[in-house]
Structure formats: structure tokens, C-alpha cells
Amino acid sequence: MVYRLFIILVLYVICCTNVIVGQEKPPPDSTVGANPGDERESSGRVNNPASGEQGTTNSPTEQPDQTRDRSSSVPQGSPREPLSPENPNPVTQIPGNGGALVTPIPLPKLTLEDSESSKSVTDIEVKSALLKNYDGVKITGPCRSYFRVMLVPHITVYVYATYDRIQLEPKFGPSDLIDINDLTNKCNKDSNKYFKLVLYIKNNILILKWKVQDKDSKPTNIDVDVKKYKIPKLDRPFTSIQVYTVNTEHGLIESKNYDINSEIPEQCEAISTNCFLNGSLDVENCYHCTLLAKKVDSNNECFNYVSKEAKELINKNLEEKNKTFKGEDEDLDSNEQKLEESIDNILSNIYKIYESKQDKERKKSHYNNKKELVTIEELNSVLKIELLNYCKLLKEVDRSGMLDHHEIGNEIDIFNNLIRLLKAHPGESTYVLNEKLRNPALCFKNIEEWLVNKKGLLLSNEKIQNLSTTNYNVTDLEESEYDYERFISDDMFEKDMNGVIDLSLFDNEKKLKSPYFRRNKYCNNEYCDRWKDKTGCISKIEVEEQGNCGLCWIFASKLHFETIRCMRGYGHFRSSALYVANCSDRDSDEICFVGSNPVEFLEIVEETGFLPLESDVPYYYTDAGNDCPEPEKNWINLWGSTELLNHKRPRQRMTTKGYISYESSYFSDNMDLFIKIIKREIQNKGSVIAYIKTENVIDFDFNGKGVHNMCGDKEPDHAANIIGYGNYIDEEGEKKSYWLIRNSWGYYWGDEGNFRVDMYGPSYCKYNFIHTVVVFKVDLGIIEVPKKEKESEYFSYFLKYTPNFLYNLFFNNYTTNDEYKLNNRLKTNQHNNKKNKKDRYISAQDEPPTDNVESQEENNKKTEIYHILKHIKDKKIKRGLVKYESLLETKKDHSCSRTHSIDPEKHEECNQFCIDNWKACKDHYSPGYCLTKLYTKDDNCFFCNV
């Protein structure tokens, strides 16, 4: 513990400016003077890297490197002060601009540091170094490691040393992951063994060398596995090699970027380097933001490295946000503005404040942090008046219409509803609480009425009962057919006489496991959330609000159909739920109050042969039960020539038309297979329909950010959609997985309309939370997908990572035997299920679920994650350091932790500004630029990295 506190103290000193500073040259007594990533050439005989044979060559050495970067975490001692240039922005002549005189772009200050100018405080065990004579790296470490190598921008290498698995992921062509087979060197889960990996590119051939031996054995080049892959001709060369490693015990993540062939001009490269070193997950966005924030002339050559799409998106956002930025022509008396002010007033007065001077300054943005909620006896007249005013304004602003047909409560009713919601969301951020308070349920007089017509799944209707479930026997299914971990292996490729595998031949000669699914960074075997891909079709599908009408079966069905259309290349067009509801052959008074299921959805659209756009038949729940509208000539038919396909159950005569269903109870002895099936369907179709139980389990105050560990029920009452999945570490330090579920109860419910549940649930459950999964089996017909305009040559110059990139890197390295437990980071909460058993969930907030201030203070001991970043070029290292408050923060698309402050003492002020104004900028294409436009105080804060 003392050792860890020492590490944190040193890190704190170093990260004052968010970047570790050093010296421009090695100290006089340094004997390094070489590229910190160099591999020294050996005078002895080594393996020929191209053939694996021995000989005297100038190939990369296989001996231990004595000159590589050894500071795998942070330098020891106080950092040196950065040198202040005499003229920070001198006018110079920059090549590439026709000899024009330009001013170099002012950036947050970074200084250079030689690799041997500092000592290591604590090691990341996986070491890497740049090869001297080749474009490549050598990586060594213990066999229990997991790490990633990116040959930017074309190939990613995943190394699971523990499981003897190495995989290649080419970014060119439609290829999937490629397993490297026939390795003779194996770790065999032996923690005493160490590996050595050499990767480099020579004459357009990627060469991989792999060696495993005992920890104390003398290094040897005998029996090295050598693999060679021919790379097709690419539009642009490899520019850098990035190595990502982790120390889970001390909460350290390290990213190293070795520059091998940067073509970007120096002033432009300085910007991208700053973005990388400040932890940006979207370097292009940060790069573009920096150009705009620093008001660089639009004719500057650096704008050539911003994609056309990025320019269009940010220009569109600038037009939309223009009023917000300028503060002009804004209707300050609008109900929307008044509602925001009312919510601010409520959140400022609903807590008891143990005030200090600092508390007062931070009061507005820390509503739910270290504060105790007032009791009903302490409810004062000011807050009572504000609560009534709030509901009056919310009724005017809310588009769901829920408050038009439900009695609004008095101040006591509203107060009780609000307290219940806030208790379920401890430690939540300001902008999230502001959105939570837009849920009209908070104003209900009888809150128990809210859920009654939110359900609507019915399986007992005699007409559809025989079609509602496909009661599979697990023995009917071949598990290998649903094995989502099947990968393409390199032995599927043809080799030439020298054993070189040509990666360019695969796509023409082999079939992928699915014609629609290609593993990518937003949806793969471990993680899937296509809504994170803001440029993708599926991310355009919005959260729906069914209102006070039990049409969940329609909304779940239409979302599933829309994701299928996206996956097939049709693009997204919002379909009409009201048309389906009103074209049912049931009595009109049953539409909202007698449930149904997705089978009826298919029956209706097949019988009518029509599915219009939402804009042609807009949904308002009070209109449900009207006559079925006659399609007009100008209406678009989304159903088109779609056909329902028959599905024959294995080993049985019975068939279902248009759908397949899987009931979890039939997989109770093999839940792994059930999970594999769901994952495969989500990968191929974008979503699945899920039957779940909500009564006495889920309500208006449900916390969607945590992972809930809940039981299911014999009789489900609601239909929703599973839209993704991921991994998490529970409060016991165990590695687990969750489903990401989308509901149709509006954007302000749950986590922006979504919630998460553990895949397996508690061991004592008789029923899994996911009762049944339904997928449509349809033929949408043949379509022509418009060809995209060819991208500019710089479009893919910068890497973009998924928000979960760092989290998954950490997760795959984490073991339950680690001393590093996450019990200070992952908080637990309790919710009752229908049998009054406790439902545990892993909270995504920073505070424990309690009103007690002292208890919160005691438990608010969070273990931070430190992200160490290094950029190596021309024998110099630039270093960056980002501190995350918790592991869960590394999952976010954006983080205010990456805010930069020129004055280290004002970093908290910049971070707080980001938090306070996040609501205004969170939906902007470049939130960092949005924050920059809002921040007019001075030039101290820099937000492009967030």
C-alpha cells in the first residue's frame, strides 16, 4: 500500500501539466546517445529474419537490448522545468505552402526527453524496442501477458500469450481476424516462461518471429517460429508502430508510438503528436479541433490531412450551434430555457450542503457528490414552489404526451419521486442529472401507474401461441455452427515456395462466415455497440418513446427490422409504428391495452405489403386504434418486396415463417451456446428482440449505467432489443460479461434509453433474465448500394480507437488472482427483484449508494488509472500522462480528464468547466471545439483532447 501511494505521489507531481517534461538532450554523463528504440547490432551470428536461419547479417538482433526505453511507467524525482523559447511563435518559411510565410501553430507545451534520462518507478513487464535496421519492433515479456501491436494504419496484431494465440487483423479488404497457426513455441499457461516477438516489414513482406523459453534460460535463436505475409500494394505506407501494454496491479496502461515513416509536415505532425500524448481516442477529431481552436488559416497545408467528411460534419455542427456559440437571437424566455433554469434550481436546493469556501464554488456542478438529500420535513417553501413550476414547464416541453393524460402530483408527490430517482443515481454527473429530470414520470401523482401500459408482450393469445416459441432442444443444434470464436487461420492461404502467405489472395478465394458481418472495432467477439460509430447507419436509429400504450412489441420489432436493413446496406429510414398498430385486425380499444408479440408485426406488414416512413404516419400514442391509413402515392414503402422465409426446426417437421426464436430455459445446461447464438445474430443482424420481465423489477428510476445481475421469470411481460454486449469486472474482482439492451421508454429513461444486465445472472436463478430471443428471417431483395465517393488520400491518416479500447486492453490482462482488485472503483447497489431477492449491479458512478456523507467520504477512495503515452522519433521520446478517476471512465467516448491546462494549478478549473458545460457540447461532432468556443475567459484551457 505504501509503495502504491509513493507511485501515485510521484505521478501527481509529474502530471501537473498533463505531460511529463524532460530535457532536450541526454545529460553529460549519459552514455546513450542512441535512438531509445534502437536494437543494437550484434557481432555474433543471429537468425536471418527473413528465413529463420543463422548467418552474419545486419538483421535485427535477438540479444537483450541495452539501449531501449526502460522507463515503462514514469520518471523518478521532480521533472525539469520546460525551456521557454525566446520567441514562442517565430515566423518561418514552411515547405509545401509555396514558400509562404506562416506562423507555426501554437500548441500546449511539450518538451523532449531522452530514454535513459530517468529511472523507472514500477515496471510494465512487457518491454518493446524499435529495431535499428528495419521498420519493426522487438517485444518481450512473461507468458501471462496480453498486448496489441498496430502497424499503422493497415494491420493490428493481437497477442494472447497465455493461450498461445496470435492474430492478425488487416484493415485492407473485407478480411476478418486471421489466426496464426502451427506455432511450435508455446507458453502453455506457464507463468515462468517468457516470450520474444519480433515484427518488421521488409520488401512489402510482414515478418513475424516468435520464441518462448524459460525465464532464466540463456537467450537462443534455435527453433524460432517464423511467419511471413505478403502485403498487397496499398495507397499509403506504414507510418508508425504502436504497442499497447498494461500493468493491472498498479492500474497502468502504456501506449508507445514508434514513428517509422511520417510523411506529414512537421508543424502538422506536432499537432497530431500532442493529441496522441494527451490521450485522445480520435486523433483526427482532436487534430481538426486544434486547427480550428488555434484559428489556423484554412489554406494552411495541415487542413489537407482532415477528411472531407470531418470538415462537412463540423461545419454542419457550427451552423446548428451558432446561436449557442454567439449567444445571439436566443429566446431566453422560452419554456426550454426556463425548464433548464428550474432544474438547476431544484438540484441546487435538494441537498444539504456542508459548505466550505471550495464547496460554494463547486456547488453547482457537484450536486450529487458528497451531499445528503434533504428530508421531507426539511422541504422549504422555495423548493416546493420550484417543484410545481418545474412540472408545469416539463408538461409544456415534453413531447411524449404522458403528462397530458396523467394527473400531475403536488409538491410532496414530485419531491418523493425525485428523491427516489436521485437515490438510484448516486454520484451522477451534472449533465446526466439534468437529463434525468426531463423524465415526465417524476411529475406523476400516482407513480405506480407509469409502468402499467409500458409493458405489452402477450404470449397467451391462442392465435399466436403455437407460433410464439421455437422450443429447441439443445441437442438439435450443432454448437460449432454458432461458435463466434471461429477465425480464419493462416493455413487457409496458399504459400509460395518460400513459405510466404499472400494476404491479397484470400478475399477472392475464400468465403467469410457471414456475407454481412465483418468484425470491426465497434462490433467483434468481445464487444459490440454499433451506436458508438457515429458515422454508421445503425447509430442513426434513435431511442423511441411508446408513451402510455402497450406497443413494446411493435417498437422492438421495428428496431430489429431497421438494424437488419442497415446491415444489408439499405440505409436507415425510420419506420412507422402507428401504421402497424392501426392496421391490426384487432378491436381498436385493444390496441394499447391488450398486448401482442413480434409475430403479429410480421403478419400485419406481410398482409398489407406496406411499411411507411414515420414522417408519413407519425406516432402519437393517443392515435393508436384509429383506422388503418390508405397509402398515398408519395409514401415510401420500406417493406418493398421483402419476403418471409420459412425456418425448419432441426430434426422436426414443424416450421416457422419469418422468424426464429430461442427460449433460454431450453439452454439451462448450456448457456454458453445460448450466448453464442445471440452474439452471432447481433453481429449479423444488428440486434435481436428479447422477451423480459419488468413488473416489480424495472421502473422509472432504473439506473441504466450499472450492470444489473438479475433473475428472469417464467412469464415475460415486455419486449425490448439486445443491441450489443461487453465485458466488466464485478465487485468481487471477477471478470464477467453483459448484454446492452435498448428499451422503448424514451431517451431520458435508463442510460439514454438503454440498460445492461449480466449475461448469466445469479447462480440461484431458475430463469435467465432474457426469457426468449427472437430474430427475423427475411429476404429484403436485391438492392444496389451506391458507391461511395473515393476518399482523399489523407482520409485514414490518423487512427481512431473505439471508446472501449483501453478498457478491453485492461480487461484482457486482468486476472482474478491479481492483488489489484477493483473494489474501490466498482461500487455496488441493491435493487429488489420480484421475489424480494437482492439484485446486485456494478455502478458506473463514483459514489457509493448512500445518503450518509461520512460514509460516502470514507468509501470515496478510488483507485485511479494512469495512461502513460510515449512518442518515439529521431532518438527522442515525448511523454504524456492522463489520469482517469476509475477504470470505468476509460470506457467513455469522451472524458474531461483529458482536458489540458497551460497553468498546472488551474487544471481543476479547466476540468470543471468541461464537466459543467458538457451537456451543451456532448452531441457535437467535436465536443472539444464546442467547449473551446464556450470558454472565453482566457487561453489557459485546451479541450480538443476530450
Between residues 671 and 104, which one has the greater pLDDT? Answer: 671
Between residues 410 and 48, which one has the greater pLDDT? Answer: 410
φ, ψ (nearest 5 deg) of residue 101: -85, 125
Model confidence at 409: pLDDT above 80 = yes
What number of other Cβ atoms are within 10 A of residue 874's Cβ? 7
Q: Is residue 859 within 8 Å of 909, Cβ to Cβ?
A: no
Q: Is 187 a catalytic residue?
A: no
Cell of 445: 401523482
Q: Which of 51, 57, 64, 61 is nearest to 207 (CA)?
A: 51
C-alpha to C-alpha distance for 176 and 161, rounded to whole angstroms: 20
User: What are the tens digits of pLDDT across the range 110-162?
Assistant: 433 444 333 344 578 999 999 988 899 999 999 989 999 999 888 999 999 98
How long a stretch of residues is the chain?
Answer: 946
Per-residue pLDDT, 214? 86
What number of other Cβ atoms are within 10 A of residue 712's Cβ? 24
Q: Is 894 a catalytic residue?
A: no
Catalytic residue (choose from 537, 552, 914, 930): 552
**At which residue does the C-alpha cell 467469410 appear?**
512
Cell of 101: 510565410
Catalytic residue (choose from 453, 727, 743, 829): 743
**At which residue does the C-alpha cell 547490432 appear?**
41
Q: Is residue 579 within 8 Å of 555, Cβ to Cβ?
A: no
Task: Give me the domains of the chain, ranges plus CATH numbers.
Answer: 335-449 (no CATH), 462-522+529-779 (3.90.70.10)
What number of other Cβ atoms are within 10 A of residue 787's Cβ? 6
User: What are the tens digits of pLDDT across the range 456-497?
Assistant: 999 854 444 444 444 555 555 555 444 444 456 666 666 777
- Report percent pLDDT > 70 for the chain: 70
Model confidence at 55: pLDDT above 70 = no
User: What are the tens digits of pLDDT across the range 760-815?
Assistant: 999 999 999 999 999 999 999 765 444 444 433 434 577 778 778 899 999 988 87
C-alpha to C-alpha distance for 842 and 378, rounded to whole angstroms: 32
User: What are the tens digits of pLDDT across the range 877-935?
Assistant: 999 999 998 888 888 888 898 999 889 889 899 999 998 888 888 888 889 999 999 99
3-class SS at 709?
strand
C-alpha to C-alpha distance for 243 and 254, rounded to whole angstroms: 8
3-state secondary structure 758-776: ECCCCCCCCCECCCEEEEE
Catalytic residue (choose from 406, 718, 894, 924): 718
Q: Mean pLDDT across the stretch 301-318?
A: 78
Sign of CA dihedral 348, 349, 350, 353: positive
Per-residue pLDDT, 59? 42
Mean pLDDT of the chain: 77
User: What are the tens digits of pLDDT across the range 552-595?
Assistant: 999 999 999 999 999 998 999 999 999 999 999 999 889 999 99
Q: Is 552 a catalytic residue?
A: yes
**Is 29 buried (19+), middle (13-18) or exposed (0-12) by CB count in 10 A?**
exposed
**At which residue does the C-alpha cell 431517451 appear?**
747
Per-residue pLDDT, 720? 98
User: What are the tens digits of pLDDT across the range 850-859?
Assistant: 333 222 223 3
Count helices and strands in the chain by DSSP H and E runs: 21, 37
Q: Which helix H or strand E contains 9, and what residues bound it?
A: helix 2-14
Q: pLDDT category, 227, cuts 50, 70, 90? A: very high
Q: Is residue 37 within 8 Å of 872, Cβ to Cβ?
A: yes
User: What are the tens digits of pLDDT across the range 633-654?
Assistant: 999 999 999 999 988 765 555 6
Q: What's the Cα-to-Cα distance from 61 to each of 49, 56, 147, rounded to whole Å?
A: 9, 11, 22
- Report percent pLDDT > 90 for the chain: 46
Per-residue pLDDT, 173? 65
Q: Is residue 619 within 8 Å of 558, Cβ to Cβ?
A: no
Q: Are strands 778-779 and 659-663 parallel, antiparallel or unpaired?
A: unpaired
C-alpha to C-alpha distance for 845 and 750, rounded to whole angstroms: 14
